[in-house]
Amino acid sequence: MMAATRREALMGALAVPAVTGLPKWRWRYGETSLLAYDPTLAAGRRLAAGGELPRTEAIAIEGDRVRFGRMLFERRPSLVVGMSRPADALLLEEVGAEAGYRRVDWHSDNLRKMIAASDDRGLVIGWVMAPRR
């Protein structure tokens, strides 16, 4: 028989829901992150070339923005980082909200630095969306 203190038993009981929820999170939101960028903007191309996020796929924003957004969020990524014109960001954020995503403040300082280093000032906005829990 194995002896366990109350503290060890409580820690084990608390760990069970976290461990059982992990496969559900992966199935629902995946483990990949997507970078959506405008290829006509220098800051967008820099973001796509940077590869700062592990397990990330960079996708150029092309064609109809609403259809592009639906295709993007149908993949259920764990995180979507974007660098685009403000109008495109607004449309993609609305499509993301319909798909169950919300805007988050994740590494926004890095995005601001990338924008400041480019010649695209005033034309570009960085945004990040994650699934609502």
Q: Which domains, from first to last, does the chain contain?
A: 30-131 (3.40.190)
pLDDT digit string, tens, across residues 57-98:
899 999 999 999 999 999 999 889 888 999 999 999 999 999
Token pair in block for residue 61: 């924003």
Write the DSSP assignment of 9-57 as a string of letters: HHHHHHHHHHHHHHHHHHHHH-S-EEEEE-TTSHHHHHHHHH--STTEE
Kindly tell me if the per-residue pLDDT of 125 is higher than 60: yes
Q: Which residue has the higher pLDDT, 63 or 50?
A: 63
Q: What is the pLDDT of residue 116?
A: 72
| pTM of the full structure | 0.70
Q: What is the pLDDT of residue 41?
A: 87
Token pair in block for residue 18: 């976290």
Q: What is the pLDDT of residue 91?
A: 95
